Structure 1
């Protein structure tokens, strides 16, 4: 019988092969099978969703007639209408009427694969996912033009995965139902370009004063660049930023081959003329600050609404007039006024909203000068000092820095109250050194300063940049007895039919310092106005406040409170250049007084929780108290710099802690502060959620502090032994000012 040498092909053989297959191959095979099945089910589900969505979409004519945007009526605290904001539409432009350069510009900057993708850019989405997995940054997949159109017409701007999924389904359905030309036509007639303008014709008329059919290449590039951030690149807000963004758009167009690089380089943006807006006033500074908060306060809502605000029209008018009447020529002014609960009564962000809608009250970062001493003395009072304690005004050097008083005079033994009233720099430096510069910085953070703080010794004279609204909030916290105050501008929001959508809830403030510390600093602030550097702020009733002047008269401040109203005033130039004669005790203090006389006129007179105990000594104040024209003589500014009649600092400066390169803390080349030209992506002024943690010391590290040569940021220094009181000395007579040639006193 022949021997069978062949392999078994029966069932047992099949089982043997299955058992011999490696485990990893079986896992891969299972993943492929189940993955393919799930992908097929997903595709079927997506196709079904797109199919039914496409059937439910309105026809093209209906989409053309629908309007975007929400009508908003903004009201003052007494119900009077401040402004009505809503969509502005120009003439509908067909695809053929839209200038080709406009079509090419928007596609190049917003969706360069518009003509090839099915509504969702799979390539861009895959790249975003890859970046999120390979880096620590979040995925940032740019929406296609079709997705943006779907969101603008059918959805809201709420950030959620559900909204994003619906947006993608709608975009795929739109691409199935309409042609690319129709989608682009809809997009360019409906997209929001800022300032209430929807569509390119409305934008062209608003920004350039002519219809979109007359758009030049430069103008088309500027409009195309607005979609990304209408408020940042608006020609009416910052024409240079708008032109810069337009040049970026031209560069993208050249990269995509729409125009040549030589054509892009030849476009002259100097020929662009921006149309001036009409019917704008200082109220818009307030509405521009308050209305963006609606995104956080309200759920998704597209119906017309009425926003009831805290703004007092009489106070706002008085604030505008006070700034206009007192601001030096060529300078800008800003004012913020808060009620005792944080309600914003008035806000002025500049001298002319039409020419510049940049809000200097909430966005500009400027040095506060001696107004910063609020935090130095708060720290000292909390460490155990009292207004009557003796201190010695004498030459002092701290880590190589020797601050100077005006006239280089020293009063010898005085009390804390006197030192504060006359803004003695040497005393502030000694107190800051005793309690620790990090402690002073932490106190400022505790009271609501949201910007970075330099902790080098010269910080006690206000070298760290701050916002007007933050400084005003700090003084309001003192007015409220040492409890935190959060500025707010919206009282309630209703529909036009009266349905309540939101209402502000008053929250009791966090206790920031003991009551006796607040009473002590109020004593000092009242003294500064009664007989010190802030005498121009007197209004015939108790006022507590502090002046501030920075080097070479670049900034002037006055901040104070009376009868429950706290107001902060700042003046200076946007480019941070010197303003002749500007000091906190002059124009800003006078503007404060002019405004406060109106703001508190109908309020009862309130006495402060302290007594005024200041001897009438013959003390000379610092530079903020000087009368006359500073250009008539040599003088020492508040930061200790000797200034000549031409305004230039002395060649051998002895002021704020120069280093070996002639630099000052926080300054740029040549010891000059960099100019403040407006917002550059700066964070919003509102206090973050971790404010109370930082304020109460529950966090050991404070990211807002920059390490310096003083005490460690975020820690409290143990006060050094008190200075031994010295016998009272006769103040050194003030030397006769050196007269500049050809001047008279």
Structure 2
């Protein structure tokens, strides 16, 4: 063997030994790459998933709160007055057994046909969503199970990020283990958006078909399930092609799931839905109850009831409104005002004197309009009652007599309507006849009369701070009130007058007027309940009860507006003038029985004269008194006729003294010829009237849009 041949064999042998090593190196590289790939794609995700799963906290079903409708109901706990829907809260939570099975099946057919078998997530859906996000697909998403959709809507949000999608996957998996499937489906059905502003299947049934969810047919349930996929584009009221295609997809799915027989499927017709313009808005309270809604929400805020509780607990707010009494007020206004000028406005408030509960509330016909029951207005002669309270409190009895002739002080002249007079009569008779002059003299005769009247009114229930009135109420620009307070020159509201008169009805015990009895969450938890109160004795019992006795004849005296069946009532009319026009601008009737106090106001919103359909001036004893009587009669119909307590005496006088109208004697002709001329009767001692400065010049002041009153300049 030559040297060359040996070298060749050695070279070949070395080359042969090198090839296996290179193969082994390539194999190791492939295995390493596979291991890395396995680590990246399987082991690390699985490990991280396990770690995330262990650390994840899934809330209990009852802990997840969503915005939903709050319902305001009457005192009977059933009559719905209004609703309150917070943002994204047009929702009413219901239980699963309230949803028909065919509606549940339709939702499963549309969104997750393996819902009851899957682990709460879909790997295929997750992978597809990840790829869509990676490639920038505009409608990235989809493929999520019902559990994932619920987690997205209520816990993690809908940001298009991998971290958010990962959390969704982890939480859905854990939720599927910790919640029952029925709990998940219930929560989903109560939270998902169906379009038309409707969240949850209960409100969706109303928005699309105007019926409770329990009355939905299979084809209607299939339509609701169809719009879940794209609610913004599929909630059309038209029979759109896209909506029909999705509807058919849902029905076909129900058939494939064996929950709908093919014969039923073939006979189904596309359902008709409510037109868009007829979709109810839960925040629309178009009738008088809309103003009740505003008062209820305002009261809840003052009480400190957490707004989040109202928005998220599906609360039922039980009010004091009594449905028959509320209807009585509404019907009385409608009956009396039929045919009257359209510019007339009125307010009616009824309060229970024994509790302060507002039983009826009418501030105007429009729930979104101005609330006249809250309007600051001049009360006119209805305010004389507080002058009487102040006098009685100072020991001036109902038998005290005052001259009713005109009063002149400087350039101020006080007269009575139509020149009415009783000569010199007791103050009870002057109240019945509403004699301005007698009560002006009474005010002058009292110790610090104007302030005493303001104090009596505040004690009875006229608030010291009235919205829309600057400073302390019943004052002259924050100073002492003027003598004209007794004639009702300062501003009060109808609700204040009903409340203050209710205090007199309750023998001087004041109860704050209120609307809210309790607030109950959907799960039955009582979130607020008004504590029972015995009230506050603000006016001496004898003072209040003697004032009641003086007011007893007035309703019958005022154009025969006494209550039906001879039911005793105490009341007072009031009228204010429109500047120096000789016409009127406000007219009142306020009165009570032991169980109900009602204030009625009438006016206009544009400073026009208060005229009826015949062109005559409206007084408190006319249209307002008619509304008051009809409201009270209807409200108290069928109830026991109650009497007022007899008062203890004040300065030796209990109740109203007997008043005898002076009757001139008519002697015979012979007596007239023979009898000497009678000596003139001694005149009653005059009340000293102090000199007062001239009245300041008046200016027109707008107290709320379109209503102006005269007030002193400067």
When the two structures are superposed, what TM-score results if normalisation uses the length of structure 2?
0.52
Q: State whether structure 2 residue 695 is matched by structure 1 residue 659.
A: yes
User: Which residue in 2 is equivalent to 1:501?
Assistant: 527
Asked if the contact 1:458/1:657 (under 8 Å) is kept, the reply is no
Q: State whether structure 2 residue 617 is matched by structure 1 residue 617.
A: no
Aligned-CA RMSD value:
4.2
| 1:554 to 1:276, Cα distance in 2 relative to 1, 3 A | farther
Q: State whether structure 2 residue 426 is matched by structure 1 residue 382.
A: no
User: Which residue in 1 is equivalent to 2:317?
Assistant: 307
Q: State whether structure 2 residue 468 is matched by structure 1 residue 453.
A: no
User: Which residue in 1 is equivalent to 2:83?
Assistant: 84
Q: What is the CA deviation profile of residues 554-575 of structure 1, one whole-angstrom value per residue up to 9, with x for unaligned ones? A: 1111111114111111111122
Q: Which runs of 5+ in 1 are unaligned?
A: 1-54, 59-65, 92-152, 155-172, 179-195, 199-205, 207-211, 214-274, 620-655, 681-705, 710-745
Asked if the contact 2:428/2:656 (under 8 Å) is kept, the reply is no
Q: What is the CA deviation profile of residues 181-207 of structure 1, one whole-angstrom value per residue up to 9, with x for unaligned ones? A: xxxxxxxxxxxxxxx999xxxxxxx9x
Q: 2:416 aligns with which of 405, 409, 428?
A: 405
User: Which residue in 1 is equivalent to 2:133?
Assistant: none
User: Which residue in 2 is equivalent to 1:269?
Assistant: none
User: Which residue in 1 is equivalent to 2:403?
Assistant: 392
2:283 & 2:536 partners in 1: Cα distance?
43
Q: 1:286 aligns with which of 289, 292, 313?
A: 292
Q: How far does residue 278 in structure 1 lie from its aligned partner after superposition? A: 6.6
Q: How far does residue 90 in structure 1 lie from its aligned partner after superposition? A: 11
User: Which residue in 2 is equivalent to 1:555?
Assistant: 586
SS at match of 2:537: coil
Q: 1:571 aligns with which of 587, 597, 602?
A: 602
Asked if the contact 2:459/2:539 (under 8 Å) is kept, the reply is no
Q: 2:333 aligns with which of 310, 319, 323?
A: 323
Q: What is the CA deviation profile of residues 244-292 of structure 1, one whole-angstrom value per residue up to 9, with x for unaligned ones? A: xxxxxxxxxxxxxxxxxxxxxxxxxxxxxxx999762212221211123
SS at match of 1:674: strand
1:409 & 1:317 partners in 2: Cα distance?
37
Alignment of 1:490-639 (within 5 A): 490-531=516-557, 533=558, 535-539=560-564, 540-551=566-577, 552-580=583-611, 581-610=617-646, 613-615=657-659, 617=661
1:407 & 1:490 partners in 2: Cα distance?
45
Q: 2:360 aligns with which of 333, 343, 346?
A: 346
SS at match of 1:522: helix
Q: What is the CA deviation profile of residues 438-495 of structure 1, one whole-angstrom value per residue up to 9, with x for unaligned ones? A: 1111211222212421412222211111111111110000000011121111111111
Q: What is the CA deviation profile of residues 695-731 of structure 1, one whole-angstrom value per residue up to 9, with x for unaligned ones? A: xxxxxxxxxxx9999xxxxxxxxxxxxxxxxxxxxxx
2:284 & 2:384 partners in 1: Cα distance?
42
Asked if the contact 2:83/2:283 (under 8 Å) is kept, the reply is no
| 1:81 to 1:407, Cα distance in 2 relative to 1, 3 A | closer
2:511 & 2:362 partners in 1: Cα distance?
20
Q: How far does residue 331 in structure 1 lie from its aligned partner after superposition? A: 0.8
SS at match of 2:392: helix
Q: State whether structure 2 residue 440 is matched by structure 1 residue 429.
A: yes
Asked if the contact 1:576/1:676 (under 8 Å) is kept, the reply is no
Asked if the contact 2:317/2:519 (under 8 Å) is kept, the reply is yes
How many aligned positions are there?
411
| 1:293 to 1:517, Cα distance in 2 relative to 1, 3 A | same
1:478 & 1:197 partners in 2: Cα distance?
49
Q: How far does residue 57 in structure 1 lie from its aligned partner after superposition? A: 14
1:490 & 1:276 partners in 2: Cα distance?
20
Q: How far does residue 338 in structure 1 lie from its aligned partner after superposition? A: 0.8
Q: How far does residue 526 in structure 1 lie from its aligned partner after superposition? A: 0.7
Asked if the contact 1:367/1:463 (under 8 Å) is kept, the reply is yes
SS at match of 2:598: strand
Alignment of 1:676-715 (within 5 A): 676-677=704-705
1:486 & 1:517 partners in 2: Cα distance?
20
Q: What is the CA deviation profile of residues 299-334 of structure 1, one whole-angstrom value per residue up to 9, with x for unaligned ones? A: 452321111111111111110111122234221111
User: Which residue in 2 is equivalent to 1:75?
Assistant: 73
Asked if the contact 1:68/1:87 (under 8 Å) is kept, the reply is no
1:290 & 1:390 partners in 2: Cα distance?
46
| 1:465 to 1:708, Cα distance in 2 relative to 1, 3 A | same
SS at match of 2:518: strand
SS at match of 2:414: coil
Asked if the contact 2:79/2:323 (under 8 Å) is kept, the reply is no
When the two structures are superposed, what TM-score results if normalisation uses the length of structure 1?
0.50
User: Which residue in 2 is equivalent to 1:357?
Assistant: 369
Asked if the contact 2:322/2:359 (under 8 Å) is kept, the reply is yes
SS at match of 1:609: coil
Asked if the contact 2:66/2:89 (under 8 Å) is kept, the reply is no
1:465 & 1:289 partners in 2: Cα distance?
20
SS at match of 1:471: helix
1:618 & 1:576 partners in 2: Cα distance?
41
User: Which residue in 2 is equivalent to 1:640?
Assistant: none
Asked if the contact 1:379/1:439 (under 8 Å) is kept, the reply is yes
User: Which residue in 2 is equivalent to 1:47?
Assistant: none
Asked if the contact 1:577/1:675 (under 8 Å) is kept, the reply is no
SS at match of 2:378: coil
Asked if the contact 1:534/1:547 (under 8 Å) is kept, the reply is no
1:599 & 1:76 partners in 2: Cα distance?
15
SS at match of 1:550: strand
2:409 & 2:282 partners in 1: Cα distance?
53
2:559 & 2:389 partners in 1: Cα distance?
19
Q: What is the CA deviation profile of residues 498-557 of structure 1, one whole-angstrom value per residue up to 9, with x for unaligned ones? A: 1111111121221112111011100111122243x3642433310110001110211111
Asked if the contact 1:333/1:351 (under 8 Å) is kept, the reply is no
1:577 & 1:56 partners in 2: Cα distance?
69
Q: What is the CA deviation profile of residues 339-398 of structure 1, one whole-angstrom value per residue up to 9, with x for unaligned ones? A: 131111110011333xx522111x211110001111111101111111222222223234
Asked if the contact 2:381/2:434 (under 8 Å) is kept, the reply is yes
2:505 & 2:458 partners in 1: Cα distance?
17
Q: State whether structure 2 residue 465 is matched by structure 1 residue 440.
A: no
SS at match of 1:603: coil
1:76 & 1:67 partners in 2: Cα distance?
26
Alignment of 1:1-400 (within 5 A): 69-82=67-80, 83-87=82-86, 280-295=286-301, 296-299=303-306, 301=309, 302-327=312-337, 328-329=340-341, 330-339=343-352, 340-353=354-367, 356-361=368-373, 363-398=374-409, 400=411
Computing the radius of gyration from Cα coordinates, the structure with the larger value is: 2
Q: Which runs of 5+ in 2 are unaligned?
A: 1-54, 59-63, 91-152, 165-196, 200-206, 208-231, 234-280, 467-472, 476-480, 578-582, 612-616, 647-654, 664-691
